[in-house]
Amino acid sequence: MRLATVTFAGRRLPAVERDGDLYALAVPAGTDLAAVLAAGPDAIRDAAAGARERLVGAKLEAPLRPGKIVAIGLNYLDHIREAGTARPERPLVFAKFPSSVIGPGEPIVIDPDLTQRVDWEVELAVVIGSRLRHVSPAAALDGVAGYTVANDVSARDLQFSDGQWIRGKSLDTFCPLGPVVVTPDEIDDPGALRLWTDVNGERVQDSSTAEMLFGVAELIAFCSRSFTLEPGDLLLTGTPWGCGEFMTPRRCLAPGDVVEVGVERIGLLRNPVSARSDT
């Protein structure tokens, strides 16, 4: 199933996409998509089966507001090669603040007083559906509620000058998510998905999740050994080659740009870039 969060007639609703149309999920008022996903596959199917209200003109929002965002650095072999770094012996884990999340069509806002080197990173994002602690790789995918698309927008100057990555990765608007969450029954192998980025219509990233050094199940198992993953948490699995920071000459996002990131079988996430306004 393809599940979404939308704004419609002044209401914020979880929805299901069928044949290109959106329908309100049959859930109690006030239920958000994260709660639907945490209820499990049977509850999701029931909510979708009862979806009758067609939401014509609904606006797509970020599918969910994660409890926490766990991200993985240097997890694509082609990105490791372009960055000229050593292959990590274990997953490189960092965090993004949930306050950085925006949805489809919302602007990525650059504050020129903070950063001059803003970069794009298409990523497959994994939505956790159950509480996971010390889970094995063999059982890890059973705890996945779905997959979505993320853009791990990064202020490279802050990332590298701070000596740790949280601030440069967590500026407001620096985590676009969407357009939908696709349930695992529609993605049999998260390690075989094409993903790409276009900036102003130019293809700058084009790769496959087959380039991941550590696969989704291994990442979930690794993280769950150190901290509990809760329903509604988000795992960003890394980005492939094609980041602007490592191009010659270096390329950075600027106000007026449009960034489109996509993952096969999930969809396309489009966001304009704007400058901070003090008004």
Identify the CATH number of the domain defined by range 69-275.
Answer: 3.90.850.10
Give the separation between CA 258 and CA 247, rounded to whole angstroms. Answer: 18
Give the separation between CA 151 and CA 198, rounded to whole angstroms. Answer: 12
Using CA of residue 33, residue 38, residue 42, residue 43, what is the dihedral sign? negative
pLDDT, position 54 = 97
Per-10-residue mean pLDDT for the chain, 279 residues long?
97 96 96 95 95 96 97 95 91 97 98 97 98 98 97 97 95 98 96 98 98 98 98 97 95 98 98 87
Name, in order, each residue with C-beta under 8 angstroms of 142's C-beta and a sequence gap of 6 or more: 130
**Domain ranges in the chain?**
2-60, 69-275
